[in-house]
Structure 1
């Protein structure tokens, strides 16, 4: 069975909620799933002022841990159309793996959240692809594999680049049922692709 790491950074919990559905889909397709979170770089004092909830009880991923997985799904919010500083710091710590090309050939995908419909969901992934390219990893997009992505009757996060949610500027909007269904679908599809590549 393919071993997939779901690695997230979430300030207010929206991404972790989406990750739960991603994991459901991965397991539905028979994958072995391990959940990790990326280390926080903000102090407890700053997080308190931001009214951020406590972090989930998940192990913090270290760069050296990545070699144990066959594939990865990364989830994080956007920061001005790119990754949060915490995620960039994590990727910056993978230099030793890069020198050995230890992650080459491993598939990876993304899911994300933004405050608004046009807050950079697609460009957040696009701006992260050079990291995969330098590691020799294989980007697996979601495509339009779920009919909800064609639904314009309501606000729905996600795109061909991956599942997503829209949180509102104040974080008041939680992932909708349709967004969670898209996330589960992405997990299931990704696991099938990862299994083929691992074989």
Structure 2
């Protein structure tokens, strides 16, 4: 069975909510999925003062387990057009696995959340793609076969690079992922799983062919 990891960091629960939606799409496609998060780096006093979302259900991932998955779908909020330091710090620790080529040929995909409509969704995802490519992974985005990303009747996240959401209503208030954005998450999860299963079938077919 294909095993997929949804690996995320979330300060206020937006990326967390998207991660579970992505996971539901993976399950719909028939793959095994695990949802895990990276460790928090912010001091506890700051976490409490800033009212970060605590007691998230997903367990904390380990570096060693990453090599056991066929695909890794990364979720991170944007920090000035780049991934959050918590996710970057975690990925910076995979050097031993990278040196053994353990990510080569696996699938990588990214989703994100920004605080505003033009808050850096696309560069955040694209900068994460650079890391995945250095690891030897194959990038899977959010294709236009998800028709929700061509909508013009509402403000919505989502691009060919990956699913996204807007975390603010523009007036300083909290905005949760919309129905369309969550549909994009589920679509991306299904798509990654479908591609992973297609690759696995192709590899098995090659192995079965006579030399």
- TM-score, with structure 2 as normaliser: 0.91
Q: CA deviation at 1:198?
A: 2.6
Aligned residue pairs, count:
199
Q: CA deviation at 1:171?
A: 5.8
The corresponding residue for 2:176 is 174
CA contact (8 A) 2:3 2:31 kept: yes
Unmatched 5+ stretches in structure 1:
none
Unmatched 5+ stretches in structure 2:
202-211
* Superimposed CA distance per residue, residues 17-73 of structure 1 (whole angstroms, 9 cap, x where no aligned partner): 111211111101001001110110011100111111214122211111101111111
Structure 1 residues 148, 136: CA separation in 2 closer, same or farther (over 3 Å shift)?
Answer: same
Structure 1 residues 171, 74: CA separation in 2 closer, same or farther (over 3 Å shift)?
Answer: farther
CA contact (8 A) 2:110 2:128 kept: no
The corresponding residue for 1:133 is 133
Q: Secondary structure at the match of 2:5?
A: strand
CA contact (8 A) 2:167 2:174 kept: yes
Moved segments of 4+, more than 3 Å: none
The corresponding residue for 1:193 is 195
CA-based RMSD of the aligned residues comes to 1.2
The corresponding residue for 1:26 is 26
Higher alpha-carbon Rg = 2
In 2, the alpha carbon distance for the partners of 1:73 and 1:155 equals 24
In 1, the alpha carbon distance for the partners of 2:173 and 2:64 equals 33
More contact order relative to length (CA 8 Å, sep ≥ 6): 1
